[in-house]
A and B are shown apart, each in its own frame.
Chain A
Amino acid sequence: MTALIFFLFASIAVFCGISLVTQTHPIASALSLIGVMGSLAILYLQLGGEFIAAAQVIVYAGAIMVLFVFVIMLLNAGAEGTSLQMSNFAKYAGIFVLAAFLGLISFVIQAMLPKTEGVVFGAFQGGTALNIGRKLFTTYLLPFEVTSVLILIAILGAMVLARREI
């Protein structure tokens, strides 16, 4: 069951990721990204991160991506021209480099990761809102506060940037 769900949503995620990169229209890319996020949320749930899964959907899909879609609609961004200003050589070289990159990462992961038992749903119960909240407000209190300041700065920055005359 775990494996089934993993393969289902992993393939959805990869498919959506490929779609993100290859689609010419920004809206299509954005929806693909939402697909990735949704399937990742399921995988988080599988890994015992129920709070983080909900936060993933609320924050990423529900807020950040809405903002993206909003901006795309606002700018009425059309489809990207197909003519990539890039030689075939660069394209294939790039793909090769990326493939090498992925292969290397996979190799390193396989080689360096200690052998542990596989993921079973429900084996880790620590990702509840209670645990996260407790940790967040004790051990990670300072980063939390700093992050809130960061958000405040971001709000101000966004407002200043989006004002009419710049």
Chain B
Amino acid sequence: MPTSVPVSWYLILSAILFGLGVAGFIYRRNIITVFMSIELMLNAVNLTFITFSYTLKQVDGHIFSFFVMVVAAAEAAVGLAIILTVFKNRETLMIDDVSSMKY
């Protein structure tokens, strides 16, 4: 067992998590789960930021992921409020039932 871990493994882990998030986004039908998939993708991106921050020995990546978190918080607040409203009006959380915004 090696004592140190190559940086690329972190990145690949991040890619895997991102891919899982994409899969969740595409395959899941519950709006909340879809939303959580987005959060998963954001987390994966954050991991990338932190990893590069480590590689470059600069703190800027941390700042970026900090901003991502803050924006995610704002997004969650608004997004969940939207979900609540959708549920109130349509009695459904299935994403396929909410497709009236089309041509």
Residues of A within 8 A of B40 (CB): 17, 20, 33, 36
Say yes or no for B27: interface residue by CB 8 A criterion: yes
A3 to B10, CA, bound (A): 11
A101 to B1, CA, bound (A): 29
Partner of A67, one of B30, B77, B93: B77
A29 to B20, CA, bound (A): 12
Residues of B within 8 A of A33 (CB): 36, 39-40
Chain A positions 39-83 with a Cβ under 8 Å from a chain B Cβ: 40, 43-44, 47-49, 51-52, 55-56, 59-60, 63-64, 67-68, 71-72, 74-75, 77, 80-81
Q: A6-B5, A64-B76, A147-B71 are in contact. Are A80 and B54 (CB under 8 A)?
A: no
Q: Which residue of B lies closest to A113 (CB)?
A: B8
Say yes or no for B100: interface residue by CB 8 A criterion: no
Instruction: Say what secondary structure dominates the interface of chain A.
Output: helix
Residues of A within 8 A of B78 (CB): 154, 157-158, 161
Taking a contact as CB atoms under 8 Å apart, the answer to whether B51 and A60 are in contact is: no
Number of A-B contacts (CB under 8 A): 234
Taking a contact as CB atoms under 8 Å apart, the answer to whether A10 and B4 are in contact is: no
Say yes or no for A87: interface residue by CB 8 A criterion: no
Residues of B within 8 A of A36 (CB): 17, 40, 43
Chain B positions 49-103 with a Cβ under 8 Å from a chain A Cβ: 50-51, 53-55, 57-60, 62-63, 65-67, 69-78, 80-85, 87-89, 93-94, 96
Encode contact with A along B2-39: 1 for CB under 8 Å, 0 otherwise.
11111111111101111111111011111011011101
> Footprint of A on B, CB under 8 Å?
1-13, 15-24, 26-30, 32-33, 35-37, 39-40, 43, 46-47, 50-51, 53-55, 57-60, 62-63, 65-67, 69-78, 80-85, 87-89, 93-94, 96
Question: 10 closest A-B pairs (Cβ-Cβ)?
Answer: A118-B4, A154-B74, A161-B81, A17-B20, A105-B15, A158-B81, A21-B24, A158-B77, A47-B54, A64-B76
> Footprint of B on A, CB under 8 Å?
1-4, 6, 10, 13-14, 17-18, 20-21, 26, 29-30, 33, 36-37, 40, 43-44, 47-49, 51-52, 55-56, 59-60, 63-64, 67-68, 71-72, 74-75, 77, 80-81, 84-86, 91, 94-95, 98, 101-102, 105-106, 109-110, 113, 116-120, 123-124, 126-127, 131-132, 135-136, 139-140, 143, 147, 150-151, 153-155, 157-159, 161-162, 166
